[in-house]
Chain A
C-alpha cells in the first residue's frame, strides 16, 4: 500500500490528491447509507437529505479545488535539519486570484522517506492577490539524505471533510545532520584539548618556531631579512600553530552487533558530530576519519557544515569492528594528525 501511495503522490496521472478526514469518512458513510435507505424505501424525503449530503460533498470538492488552484507556493529555502529535532522553515504562498480569498491553506515540502513529520505553514485566509509567509516545521527521525519532490499546497476548506492537495514539483535533497549535543570540556579526552604528547607544528601562530627557505606563497612579511642577508635565498620565520593543532575525530562507524547495535552506532555518529562541532566552535582545526572515508581537516563554520554533511550520510557498516578500527588506524597514520578523538559505538 505504501508503494501505491508513493506512486500516487508522485505521478502526473492524478494532479490532485484527496484524503479523507475522519469527519469526511463519516459523511461519506452516512451518504452511502442514506443512498441505500432512499433507494430501498423510495422515500423522497430521504432522497432530499441524501441530495443535501451529496451536495455538501460535491461543493466541497469544487470549492477546495477553486481554493487551492490560485495558490502558488514559494520556494523552499535551504533546510537545516537535525535528526529528531523539528527544523523550522518559512514558506511563502501567493494567491493569484483577483477576486476571491482562499481559506485554510496549508503548505509543506514533500519529502521522501518514513519517519518524516511535517508541521505545515498555515494561512487562515489569503485575501485576493496577496502573498504571505508562514512558519512550519519538519522533523526527520533519522539522519541521512532525503529527496524532496515538491511543495504541497493543501486545504480542507470549506467543510473539513476532505483534504485536497496539489504538488508543485521540484527536485532537491535535504541533508539531515545527526544531532549535535552540547559537550562539556571534561568529557573530552586530553588529546582533543591540545595538551597531548604530539610535537609542535609550524603554522600561523605567533610563537616563533623556526626558520626555513622562502617558498612561493609565503607571506613576505615573514621574511627574515637579517638571516637572508648572507645567503642567496630568502629565509622566512615560521611560527608555531598555537592551540590550533589539528584534531582528527576517528569514528568507527560499525554496527557493534547485538540488539541495540545500530542504535549505539547511530549514537556514536551523533557524538562524533558533537565533538567535531564543539572543537570547531573553539577554533580548532578538525578533520574526521571513518572506516569508510575521511574529511580533511579544516576550521570554521564551513568545516562544521562539511563534517555534518558527511556524517549525515555516513553508512553504518555491518562488519567486525576490530578490523575496521585497524583500518581507521591505518588511515589516521597516513594523515598524521596532532590529536585523535576516538568515537566507538
Chain B
C-alpha cells in the first residue's frame, strides 16, 4: 500500500526524515524562545517554510510580525533582507538593477533585496500593483528576470509579507489571484497576559533579539526536499477533496478553493508531517492547516471587492465546513 503513490524508489529514508524534523525542531525552539505566546502561528509558519511556501501575516502593527520574520530569518542563518513597501517603491528596488560600470565597461548587475533566503516584505499593500507583482512573480518562479537575463534566487527562498488590514487609505489591496501565491495567511493576534509580560521583560527596548543561526539554508532546503516526497495517502486525498468540494458548493462562499489550493494544502500537510517527525500524513495535518492555507483562497459572498475582509468571516465558514465533514477511518 505504501508504494501506491510513490514508486519503490521514492521512499523517504529514515535519516533524511530525522534530519528534516530536527531542522524544523531547532528553528521552532530558537524562534519560540523569542516569539512567545503564539505556538500555533509559529508552527504554521515553520510548516510554510518547510513546504517551500510563503506566508502573509495580516495583523495590526506591533503584534509581532516583524519579530517573527526576523527571528525566523536569523535562525536560518542565510541572507535576510527587509523591504518596507511604500507607494513609490519600484520593481527594480526589489529585484535589483544593472548599472554601467565605467571600470569594466559593461553593465554590472546589482542584486536587489529579493536575493535573500528570507525576505520580509513589510506592508505589502502599500506598494503599487506593479511592484507587488514583481515580488509575487519572484515568489512563485523563484527566479528574477532583469534585462532579459534570468537569475536564480537562492534556496531556500522564503517570503514573509505583512499587511495591515485595517488601513484602507493609500493602499492597493492584493487581488485574489495574487493572494493565492501565499501558502498561508496568518494573523497573530494578541498574546496571553503571561506571554506578554515575558515579551516585555525579554525584549525590553534593546531591539536586539540575540538570535544566532541554528540551521543552515542547505538544511532547510533538504527538509523541503523531504517534505516533497512524503507520501500522501489516497484516503486523505479523498478527505481533502471532500473539504474542497464543500467550499465550492457552499452557499456562503462566492468562490471555492482552486486546484492550486488543493496542491498547496496537500504540500502543507506533507510539511506538517515532516515537522512532526513523521513519514506519513494523517487527517490532523489536513484539518489543522485547512483554515490558514485556505482562508485567503475563498471569497465570501458579498465581499467581492476583496482585501477588505480580514478573513475572520472566511475562517469561520471554513471551520464550519471542517466540523461537518467526516474524517475517514474508524
Contacts and interface: CB of A to CB of B under 8 A. Distances in A.
Interface of A: 3, 112-113, 142-146, 266, 269, 291-293, 312-319, 322-323, 326-327, 330-331, 334
B7 A142 contact: yes
A42 B109 CA distance: 99
B8 A144 contact: yes
18 contacts: A3-B1, A113-B3, A144-B8, A144-B9, A266-B9, A269-B9, A292-B16, A292-B225, A293-B222, A313-B13, A315-B9, A316-B9, A322-B152, A323-B152, A323-B155, A327-B155, A327-B221, A330-B155
A144 B11 contact: yes
Contacts of B228: 317-319
B45 to A, nearest CB: 23
Q: Which 10 A-B pairs have the closest CB atoms?
A: A144-B8, A315-B10, A144-B9, A315-B229, A142-B8, A292-B225, A326-B152, A313-B11, A143-B9, A113-B8
B142 interface: yes
B16 A144 contact: no
Given A313-B9, A316-B10, A323-B155, 9 more contacts: A269-B9, A291-B225, A313-B11, A316-B7, A318-B228, A323-B142, A323-B152, A327-B221, A334-B218
A317 B225 contact: yes
B171 interface: no
A290 to B, nearest CB: 10
A11 B13 CA distance: 27
A133 B132 CA distance: 73
B284 to A, nearest CB: 25
Nearest to A140: B8
Nearest to A315: B10
A319 B142 CA distance: 13
Given A317-B225, A323-B152, A331 B9 contact: no
B6 interface: yes
Nearest to B8: A144
A330 B218 contact: yes
Contact of A293 (B11, B13, B142): B13
Contacts of B225: 291-292, 317
Contacts of A3: 1
Contacts of A312: 9
B7 A145 contact: no
A129 B11 CA distance: 44
A142 B9 contact: yes
A170 B228 CA distance: 32
Contacts of A327: 155, 221
| Majority secondary structure of chain A interface residues (helix, strand, loop or mixed) | mixed
A322 B229 CA distance: 19
Contacts of A142: 7-9
A266 to B, nearest CB: 8
Interface in B138-176: 142, 152, 155
B8 A315 contact: no
B169 to A, nearest CB: 40
A158 to B, nearest CB: 37
Contacts of A330: 155, 218
Contacts of B155: 323, 326-327, 330
B118 to A, nearest CB: 17
Interface string B205-243: 000000000000010011001001100000000000000
B218 A144 contact: no
Contacts of A334: 218
B229 A317 contact: yes
A334 B216 CA distance: 12
Contact of A146 (B8, B13, B16, B218): B8
A327 B153 CA distance: 11
Interface string B26-55: 000000000000000000000000000000
Contacts of A315: 6, 9-12, 229
Contacts of B12: 315
A84 to B, nearest CB: 13
Contact of A145 (B8, B16, B229): B8
A179 to B, nearest CB: 13
A271 to B, nearest CB: 15
A82 to B, nearest CB: 14
A316 B12 CA distance: 11
Nearest to A176: B8
B6 to A, nearest CB: 7
A330 B217 CA distance: 11
A130 B43 CA distance: 63
Nearest to A143: B9
A113 B7 CA distance: 10
A139 to B, nearest CB: 14
Nearest to B10: A315
Q: Which of B10, B142, B221 has the most CB of A within 10 A?
A: B10
B233 to A, nearest CB: 14
Interface string B63-98: 000000000000000000000000000000000000
Contacts of B142: 323
A334 B13 CA distance: 22
A291 B221 CA distance: 10
Contacts of A319: 228
Contacts of A322: 152
